Amino acid sequence: MARPWLLPFGLVVLLASVAQAAIVEHTFNVGNLSISQLCQTARIITAVNGQLPGPTIRAREGDTVVVHLVNHSPYNMTLHWHGVFQRGTPWADGPAMVTQCPVKPGANYTYRFNVKGQEGTLWWHAHISFLRATVYGALVIQPRSGANAYPFPSKPQREETIILGEWWNANVYDLERMAYLTGMPAAHADAYTINGKPGDFYNCSGANQTYKFQVHQNERILLRIINAALNTPMFFKVANHSFTVVGADAAYTTPYETDVVVIAPGQTVDALMVAGAAVGRYYVAASPYDSAIPRGPMISKTTGTAILEYVGSAGNQAPVLPPMPAYTDTHTAFRFFSNLTALILPGFPTVPLSVDHHMFVTIGLGVSDCQPDQFFCNKSTTVFSSSMNNASFVLPKSVSMLQAHYRNTPAGVYTRDFPDTPPVIFDYTADASDNATMQYTTKSTKVRTLKYNETMEMVLQNTRLIAKESHPMHLHGFNFFVLAQGFGNYDHATAVNKFNLVNPQERNTIAVPTGGWAVIRFVANNPGMWFMHCHFDAHMDLGLGMVFEVQDGPTAETSVPRPPADLPQC
Ligand code: C2O
């Protein structure tokens, strides 16, 4: 039986050809912004157009987006359109040294791409150093024919974008340099923020440091929630309200009822919320989920807040605070992450049922020899390092990987030997398995090459080397389907029975369960160089990444095009 909300959607698809694709054009001036936050009065941060968060890009499915990046900042810069497939425009993806050299201070670059076949909430951020801490914003894609075409059980009357972030009192560029030079992870954030503001529970919080939005009683609101934090998965609640999740990572989900949203860095969640509580004021709250075992000291156990204000409430009424899950609540995180399924709709892709290649990839922390330019480096010093299958990823320095791929001159830039399995099979997740030999990784720039249109199935297996942790693994250039996930060591014989091959959730970022595994599938229908990495910047920096090199297909449309004339050179 057709679900009733599918019918209007089908009609809308017929009408879609009438609505013209538009060009959505922005100029992003990246530069210094002086702001007051926590107890600092004139902190200089790097920001787009003097705003934190930066501007929201609003487009409709099929539109072309053009963003002129003008770099007035003192830092090298690139921008990434997180979750946009970039089909036919791999030069616009943005990760520094993967698809482009950085835009130098004083220089410009224009990003041009389309948002075909994608609807929902995505976002954009700097993809160099830790600069995305303050250089980020929302990218909202409505259906071609507008908000009436949402395939939701009930239509929202308004929308609100909620971007969760982290705030550092220190300069994040310097933090990243220090983390690299000392080989130690960077310190944790000083506050969690909602739409750039920390809220009422921090020192020096004042009227200006809390984000507020208003609703009418009984209004239906679509919350577009984005986790832009560098290193922290979040629990998200609104006091006395609950949600119907209808999308994640710009893919529609079967409506899922919950009073808590769990969202890892890089992920987005679209949730309907009815303003059905008494006229009043309510806290919107984001608190950390610390998945590391054993736990490090690397987390601020505070809560970032905004205020939801009903029209007609007294402005001085103290808001109600929701009870938040404990910061160690893996059960709540897993329940949320594993209960989402896709909403099957005509015109959207479904999970591929045959597979060309399988990979089994360990992800986690380890150690490596220090690099010659690091402090106190001598032969016997090891530093923290993270890896996939014990290959700890480093970015090339002289030319981007996509340029080397396009010219077919990988020598000295990358090698095509990323392994499909870990070097040794061991007990990945037991506490006793933190073994010194397996901790050791080597630095390299390895890719896994795929032919155009091949299907990859990948098991991501977390390890207990140093600590187990829920790593948010992000893939550029594609969505993948999440077939199954669980705790402990992956066992194919039992896991395969749990594969969802009917309506698995589609994502661009998966929070692999702590000390556990996830199975994903994607079709390599997009030629280019596509970064896969942990969306904790602290881990990506230490090497938790690799690149898929997808070869050209048979036609010009399925091949990497010539680079744009203004592509920055190193
Ligand atoms: Cu949002 Cu490579 O990242």
Residue 470: which residues within 8 A CB-CB, separation 6 or more? 233, 264, 289, 291, 330, 333, 462, 511, 512, 513, 514
| Ligand 1 site, residue 545, Cβ cutoff 6 A | no
Q: Which CATH architecture has domain 1-151?
A: Sandwich (2.60)
Are 57 and 137 contacting, i.e. CB atoms less than 8 angstroms apart? yes
Q: What letter would DSSP give residue 10?
A: H
Q: Residue 143 and residue 117: Cα distance in Å, rounded?
A: 9
pLDDT of residue 364: 96
- Model confidence pLDDT, tens digit, residues 517-550: 999 999 999 999 999 999 999 999 999 999 999 9
Q: Whose CA is nearest to atom 3 of ligand 1?
A: 82
pLDDT of residue 7: 38
Q: Residue 388 and residue 462: Cα distance in Å, rounded?
A: 9
433: confidence class by pLDDT, cuts 50, 70, 90 = confident
- Model confidence pLDDT, tens digit, residues 146-199: 989 999 989 999 999 999 999 999 999 999 999 888 888 778 899 999 999 999
| Ligand 1 site, residue 132, Cβ cutoff 6 A | no
Strand order in the sheet with 64-71: 40-48, 23-37, 64-71, 108-114
| Ligand 1 site, residue 474, Cβ cutoff 6 A | yes
In terms of average pLDDT, the best of 6-15, 400-409, 436-445 is: 400-409
Are 224 and 160 contacting, i.e. CB atoms less than 8 angstroms apart? yes
Record the tokens describing residue 396, joined without a space: 């090339």
For 388-449, give the secondary structure using H, E and C.
ECCEEECCCCCCCHHHHHHCCCCCCCCECCCCCCCCCCCCCCCHHHCCHHHHECEEECEEEE
| Ligand 1 site, residue 476, Cβ cutoff 6 A | yes
The ranges assigned to domains in the chain are 1-151, 154-339, 357-558
Distance 534 CA to ligand 1 centre (A): 8
Residue 298 has pLDDT above 80, yes or no: no
**What CATH superfamily is the domain 154-339?**
Cupredoxins -  blue copper proteins (2.60.40.420)
Residue 6 has pLDDT above 50, yes or no: no
Residue 380 has pLDDT above 90, yes or no: no
Fold agreement (1-151, 154-339): yes
pLDDT of residue 185: 77
Q: Which CATH architecture has domain 357-558?
A: Sandwich (2.60)
Q: Residue 155 and residue 4: Cα distance in Å, rounded?
A: 13
Q: Residue 30 and residue 316: Cα distance in Å, rounded?
A: 37
| Ligand 1 site, residue 531, Cβ cutoff 6 A | yes
Residue 13 has pLDDT above 70, yes or no: no
pLDDT of residue 566: 97
Read off the pTM: 0.95
Q: Which of 403, 422, 419 is nearest to 411 (CA)?
A: 403
